[in-house]
Amino acid sequence: MPSEPDQPGAPDPDLVRAWLSVVAATAYVPRSAAEIEDLLRSLLGRLTTALAAEPFDAAAGSRVGELMVEGALTGEATLERSLRVLADGLADAGHGARSVAPLLAAVAAGYAAALRRRTLAQQENMKLALLTAKQRAERDRRATENRFREVFTASAIGIAITEQDGTFVEVNPALAAILGCPADQLPNRALAEFIAVEDSDELPVFGEADRRRLVRPNGESAWVYLTTSLLHDDNGATRYRVTMVQDLSELMLLGNQLSHQNLHDALTGAANRLHFQSRLEAMHGQTSPRHLLTLLCLDLDAFSLINTTHGHQAGDRVLRSVAGRLMNAVDGHDAVVARIGGDEFAVLIAHGTAAPPVSKLVEGINQELSEPEYDGRLGLAVSATIGVVRCKPSEMSSTEMFRAADAALRYARSTGRYQWAEFDAHADRAARKVGESATALPAAWENGELDLAYQPVVRLSDGKVVRVRALARTTGLDGVDSTTELAELTGLSVPLGPWLLAKSTESVPVWQALFAGTADPDEAVHRVHLSALQSADADLSATVNTAVSRAGVAPGLLEIALDTTTVLTGRGDAQDNLRTLSDIGVVTALHGFNGGPREIAMVERFGVRTVVLADPFENWRPDWLPRDAVPMRATLRLIEALESLGTSVGVLGVRDHAEARWWADQGVRTGEGPAFGGPGDVEDILARLRPTAN
Amino acid sequence: MDAVADWVPEGIDLERPSAARLYDYLLGGAHNFAHDRELAERFIKAQPNAREIARHNRSFLRRSVLFMIERGVRQFLDLGSGIPTVGNVHEIAQQADPTTRVVYVDYEEVAYAHSTLMLADNPLATIVQADLTRPRDILDAETTRELLDFTEPIGLLMAGVFHFVPPAKDPRRIVAEYRDALVPGSYLSFSQFTRDLMPAEMDRVVEVMKSSRDPMYPRSHAEITELFDGFEVVEPGIVPTALWQPDPDLDDGGEPNRAGIYAGVGRKI
C-alpha cells in the first residue's frame, strides 16, 4: 500500500528545494531565493491539495501553470524540468500516476495558455510602441520635408530633381526662371535640352561645379554653373539626380553687385547706414528677449585733421583701415560693422546671456585702432570717441538703442576726445564709466620719437633753481607747445598724460637730492602742467597715485597744475581731480590763470597752492610797461590777492634777469623761461646745476 | 516583407536586428521579430550558453541595484536599458523603496517607444532617448535633470551594454564623463562581454554580431579595471557575473567561468 500523501498545505520541503534549484538553473526570476521558495511552496500546496480532492479537478493544475508564468518561471527549459521534478517528487510521496499525470498535464496546458496570452500582450504593447515610434519618425520626417520644401522654393539657385537620364521630376521656381521656361512646361523634358550643343556631349562630373552655356527657348543664352549629386534610396541604390544651377549671366552678377552696393559702403566695404539699421532691426527682433545686445557708435577723433594735413587719400586709407580693424575687434562675435557717416562707425554685437564687460569691448576696439597704420614713413594712428548702449531686446526698441548709443557718444565727446561712455538711462553721472585703460600709444612713442624733457623752475628772489617742470617732447616736431597742442587736437593727450606722469615721477628722487640744499624741505621739486583733456581725465588721481607709489616718493614733492579753464567750466572730472589730488597730498596748481573773479574764488575754494599766470601782457616785457597801464594795475592787484590767500604765484617765459627781478619785486615766487635755460633731459639739467649747487 | 510579423504596423524597418530585442528574446520575451530571433539563434550557436549568460547578467543587475539600495542610493541612471521585460530596475528598486527614481536611457526607437508606454503611469521613472557614448546629451537632458538630483548619490548602471562601445569612441573618457557628474558615494554597476573566459565562443559571437546594428567589442579584465578609474571596486572585485555577491540559495550549479561576462561594482571616491 502506498503511504498517505502529505497533509494539504504542508508540502514536502525537499521537493520545494529540488524545484527551486531547477528554477534557479533555468529562469531569471527577479526575486530573492526566499521569495521564490515561498512561491514554489504555495504552488506545490495547490497541487497536493488538488491530488487529495475528490473528484479530481484539472482546473487547479491549470491555475498553477498560469501562476508559473505570472511568476516569471518561464525559462526555455523551466516547464519541462519542473514537471519532471514534480512528477518524481509526487510519485515518491506516494501519489499514483493516474492522478499525477492528468494534473501535471493541466499544469502544462495552463502554462501554455498563459504564456500565449503573455506573448500576445507583449506583442500588443510592441505594436503600440512601434506605432508611436512610427508616428514620431513621421513627424520628424514631415518637419525635415517642410524645411527642405522651404529651401527648395525660396532658393535663388535653380534646383532640378531628375531621373537618371536627366528627365525632370521636379524643379523649383528659380530653375524655371533661369531656364526661361514656365515650370509646367518642364515635365518630360530633360536638362540636357537646355545646354548648348557644344557642351551637351558630356554631363558634369558629380559633386564638381561645371561652367556651361544654357540656351533658353527664346534663343537667349546664359552662362551657368552646374553641380550634380545623386540621391539614394534607403537601400543605397541611386534613384535620382539633383542638379543645382547657378545663373552667372551679367544681369545676375550686376544685380548681386547692385544689391551689395546698396547695402555696403563702397569705400570701406562695411555695411552702410541703411543696411545697418535694417540689420539692427532684424537682430533685435531675432534675439531672445533674455539675451544681450551691445551697440557702439564711434566717432573718429580729429579725422578732419588727417584729411587736411595728409590729404584725402590718407583719410580714405584710414577709414578703410578703421573698418577692417573694427571687424577684427569683433571677430568671433555675432556682429555687424557699419560706416554710418563720414567718420562715424557703428558696431552691433549679439551676445548670449553672458557678455564681456563693455569696458573690455571698448578696450579691445581702442587697442585695434591705436596700432599705427604705416604708409612709407608716415605712421597714422587714430583714436575714437565711443558711445555704448547694452540692453536686452525687451528693454529698448531698436530705434531707441540707436538713439541711446548716439546720446552716449555725444556725452563722451563732451568730456573730450578718446573717451567713451555707456548710455545711462538715469543720467546718473556716478554710474558713468570713463575709459579705464588708455594705455595704447601712437607710433611716435613706440619709436622713441617722444621723450621727456625738464624745464628749470627758478625761485625769483635769489635766482636759484628749486624745481623742474616735466614736458613731453617730440623729436621732429618743433617746439614743446606743438606736442601738447597736437596731442590735444587728436585726443591723444589723454593717454599721454598718464605716460608723462608715470615716467617723469621716476626721476623725482634725483631732483629731491639735487635741490635738497636750496629748496625748502616741504616744497615740491617737480612740476607737471596738464592739458585741458588731461585735467578732465577721470583716471587722473588713480594715475598719480600709481606713479607716486611706484616711484616711492612723497606726494608733496609733486606739483601738478591743471588747466584753469577746464576746472572753471567743470569739464569732465577736472574739479574732482583738483580736490582728490589735494587730498592725496600733491601740491595742487592751476596754470593758464587769467585772474577773473571766479578764478580767484576757485583758488580759495579748492585751496590751490600754486598759480601759474597766463601771459598777462601779451608778450610785452612787463618791466618796460608803464605802471599805471590798466593790465599792469590789474595784474599787480591779482598777485596781491593771491598772496593774501597764501598761494604761490609763478610766471612763464621770463626773458632775462631784469624781467625776473621785476617779477620778484611784485611778489611772484617762481619763474621759468629763457632767462634760466630751456628744457633738457636729466643729464643736461644735472650738468647745468651741479657746479652751482657745489 | 514576409519576414515581418503581420501584426507589425506598416512602414517600420525591422530588417536590421537589434541587440535590445535579441536580449529580450534570450530572456524569453516576445518583443522581437523574425530577424532578431534569427540573429539570436546564430548567437546561441556561437555561444551555446547565451541564455544562461543573459540570465546571469540580468540577475547581477538586480543584485547590484539591491546592493546600492542597501547603501542608501535612491536614484538610478540605467544606460542601455533595452526593452523592459521582467525585473526592470524601477520594479526592483521601487519594491524596496517606492520613492526611488529611475531614468532609463536607450537610443533604439522601439526600446524608447516601448519604455515610454510602460512608464507612462510611473512619475518616478522615465526614459531618455540618447546615445550613451554622448554623456552630455544624457546628463544635460531636461528629463534627466527633472528626476535626478546630482547633488545626491546616484546608481549608474551599465549592465551588459558597454561591449557595444567601440574603442574608437574612447570608452575611458565616456565613463569618466559620467563619473565626474556624480557625487562621491555614488555607485557604478558595470558588466560586459570578455574574451578572457570563453575566447573561442566570444570570437564567434563577435563575428555573428557584425551583421547587426550593434557590433560587439569584448574587453579584457585589465581594460575593464581601467574603466573603474576613480571608483573603489567593492568586493569581490571584477568577476564573472555569477560570482558577484551570489545568492547562495539560487546557485544553479553551473560553471561560473562559462558566464562570458565580467561584472563589478565601484563606489565613487
DSSP code of A464? E
Residues 6+ apart with CB under 8 A from A346: A276, A295, A296, A297, A298, A337, A338, A340, A405
Mean pLDDT of A193-205: 62
For an interface test with A, the pick among B249, B251, B258 (most A C-beta atoms closer than 10 Å) comes out as: B249
| pLDDT for residue A355 is more than 60 | yes
Instruction: Select the residue of A32, A126, A134 nearest B114 (Cβ to Cβ).
Output: A126
Q: Which residues pair with B190 in a beta bridge?
A: B158, B264
Q: Give the whole-angstrom CA distance, residue A267 versus residue A323.
A: 10
What span, in angstroms and rounded, lies between the C-alpha atoms of A78 and B231?
38
What mean pLDDT is predicted for residues B113-138? 89
SS3 A535: helix
Residue B193 phi/psi, 5° resolution? Answer: -65, 150
Phi, psi of A355 (to 5 degrees): -130, 150
- At position B231, the amino acid (one-letter code) is F
Lowest-pLDDT range of A48-62, A133-147, A528-542, B48-62: A133-147
For residue A327, what are the domain limits? 264-431
Residues A586 and A458 in one domain: yes
Q: What is the pLDDT of residue A3?
A: 43
**pLDDT value for A181:** 84
Instruction: Decide if pLDDT at A659 tops 80.
Output: yes
Sheet strands side by side (includes A210-215): A168-171, A158-162, A238-247, A221-232, A210-215
Q: How far apart are CA A231 and CA A162, in angstroms?
A: 10
- A484 part of a folded domain: yes
In contact, A42 and A85? CB cutoff 8 Å? no
Q: Is A681 within 8 Å of A645 (Cβ atoms)? A: no
Q: Which H/E stretch holds residue A579?
A: helix A574-584
Window 92-111 of B: residues touching A by CB (8 A cutoff) are: 92, 109-110
Residues of A in contact with B87 (CB under 8 A): 28-30, 72
User: Which chain A positions have a beta carbon within 8 Å of B113's beta carbon?
Assistant: 128-130, 132-133, 136
**What is the Cα–Cα distance from A650 to A669, expressed in whole angstroms?**
6
User: Does one domain contain both A461 and A575?
Assistant: yes
Beta-carbon contacts of A405 under 8 Å, excluding residues fewer than 6 positions away, are A295, A296, A297, A346, A387, A388, A389, A423
| End position of a domain, from candidates A387, A407, A431 | A431
pLDDT at A255: 61
pLDDT score at A381? 73
What is the mean pLDDT of the segment spanning B239-246?
91
- A interface with B, Cβ–Cβ < 8 A, is 20-21, 24-30, 32-34, 36-37, 72, 74-76, 118-119, 122-123, 125-134, 136-137, 234
- Show the cell assigned to A477: 616736431
Residues B45-64: pLDDT tens digits?
999 888 888 888 988 999 99
Residues A207, A320: one domain?
no
B163 to chain A, any CB pair closer than 8 A? The answer is: no
| Residue of higher predicted confidence among B218 and A271 | B218
A583 burial via Cβ count (<10 Å: 0-12, 13-18, 19+): exposed
- The predicted pLDDT at position B232 comes to 94
For residue A568, being part of any structural domain is answered with yes
Tell me how far apart the terminal alpha carbons of chain A are, to the nearest angstrom: 146
Q: Report the C-alpha gap between A199 and A195 in whole angstroms.
A: 6
Q: Omega of the bond prior to A55 within 30 degrees of 0, cis?
A: yes
Q: What is the least distance, in Å, from the CA of B108 to any CA of chain A?
A: 10
Provide the 8-state DSSP code for A195. B
| Helix or strand (DSSP H, E) at A168 | strand A168-171
Kindly state the average pLDDT of the residues B208-225: 89
Nearest C-alpha in A relative to B58: A28
Decide: A230 and A162 in contact? Cβ < 8 Å. Answer: no
- Nearest-Cα distance to chain B for A48, in Å, is 24
d(CA B159, CA B79): 8
Question: How many other C-beta atoms are found inside a 10 Å radius of the C-beta of residue A175?
Answer: 26
Per DSSP, the three-state class of A159 is strand
Report the DSSP pairing between strands A384-391 and A420-422.
parallel
- Residue A338's pLDDT band (boundaries 50, 70, 90)? very high
- The domain boundary, picked from A123, A140, A171, lies at A123
The answer to whether A112 and A65 are in contact (CB under 8 A) is yes
Please give the tally of structural domains in chain A: 4
Instruction: For residues A316-343, give the mean pLDDT.
Output: 88
CA distances from A620 to A315, A617, A625, A630, A675 (A): 41, 5, 8, 14, 15
User: What SS3 state is found at B28?
Assistant: coil
Cβ separation B91–A30 shorter than 8 A: yes
Report the DSSP pairing between strands B155-159 and B75-79: parallel
Residue A167 per-residue DSSP state = B
Segment A102-135, tens digit of pLDDT: 889 999 999 999 989 888 888 888 888 878 777 7
| CB atoms closer than 10 angstroms to residue B160 | 25
Helix, strand and coil in chain A, % to nearest 5: 50, 20, 30
The pLDDT value recorded for residue B45 is 92
Average pLDDT, chain A: 80
- Per CB-CB distance under 8 Å, the chain B contacts of A133 are 12, 109-110, 112-113
Distance CA B242, CA A583 (A): 83
Q: Which residue has the higher pLDDT, A424 or B100?
A: B100
Quote the CA–CA distance of A297 and A387 in Å, as a whole number: 5
- Please list the alpha-helical segments (H only) found in chain B: 19-26, 34-46, 50-70, 89-96, 109-118, 135-139, 142-147, 171-181, 199-209, 221-227
Residue A129 forms part of a structural domain: no
Q: Does residue A208 register a pLDDT over 80?
A: no
Q: Is the pLDDT of residue A308 over 50?
A: yes
**Residue A360, CB-side half-sphere exposure with 13 Å CA sphere:** 5
pLDDT at site A431: 28
Widest pairwise Cα distance in chain A: 162
Domain boundary among A104, A123, A142: A123
pLDDT in tens, A514-527: 888 887 777 888 99
Say whether both A420 and A449 belong to one domain.
no
pLDDT, one tens digit per residue, over A611-636 is 998 877 877 788 888 888 888 888 88
- Can you tell me whether residue A166 is helix, strand or coil? coil
First to last CA, chain B: 53
Cβ-nearest to B252 among A24, A127, A129: A24
**CB–CB contact A25 B62 (8 Å):** no
Nine-digit cell at A439? 594705455
How many CB pairs (< 8 A) connect A and B? 94
A113/A182 same-domain check: no
Residues of chain A in contact with residue B28, where contact means CB-CB under 8 angstroms, are: 27, 74-76
ipTM: 0.78
Res. A1: pLDDT tops 70: no
Preferred mutation among B114, B251, B261 to probe A, highest tally of A CBs within 10 A: B114
CATH number of the domain that A277 lies in?
Answer: 3.30.70.270
How much is the pLDDT for A66? 93
Three-state DSSP class for residue B54: helix
Flag whether residue B159 sits within 8 Å of chain A, measured between CB atoms. Answer: no
The percent of residues above 70 in pLDDT, for chain A, comes to: 85
Classify the phi-psi angles of A43: left when phi > 0, otherwise alpha if psi is within -120 to 50, otherwise beta: alpha
Give B191 to chain A, closest Cα distance, Å.
17
Instruction: Kindly give, in sequence order, each residue whose CB lies less than 8 Å from that of residue A228, ignoring residues fewer than 6 positions away.
Output: A203, A204, A205, A206, A207, A241, A242, A243, A244
Residue A349 φ then ψ, to 5°: -125, 130
Count CB-CB contacts under 10 A for residue A518: 17
Give CA–CA dist A443/A38, Å, rounded: 93
Contact at CB, B249 and A132, closer than 8 angstroms: no
Contact A107, A65 (CB under 8 A): yes
Claim: this prediction has a pTM higher than 0.90: no
A169 residue type, one letter: V
Q: Which of residues 189-228 of B touch A (CB under 8 A)?
A: none
Chain B residue closest in CA terms to A131: B9
DSSP code, position B197: T
* Per-residue pLDDT at A179: 85
Q: What one-character DSSP code corresponds to residue A341?
A: S
Which residue in A24, A118, A133 is closest to B113 by CB distance?
A: A133
CATH number for position A509: 3.20.20.450
Dist CA A613 CA A564 (whole Å): 10
| Homologous superfamily (CATH) for B50-198+216-268 | Vaccinia Virus protein VP39 (3.40.50.150)
B12 to chain A nearest CA, in Å? Answer: 7
DSSP classification of residue B238? S
Question: Mean per-residue pLDDT for A23-36?
Answer: 86
| A162 beta partners | A168, A241
Nearest-CA distance B186 → chain A (Å): 23
Residue A631 makes CB contacts below 8 A (sequence gap 6+) with A616, A617, A625
pLDDT for residue B112 is more than 70: yes
Q: Are residues A302 and A396 in the same domain?
A: yes
Amino acid at B201: E
Per-residue pLDDT reduced to its tens digit, A436-489:
222 334 445 555 566 788 999 999 988 889 999 988 776 544 333 445 554 554
**CA separation for the pair A496, A488 (Å, rounded):** 10
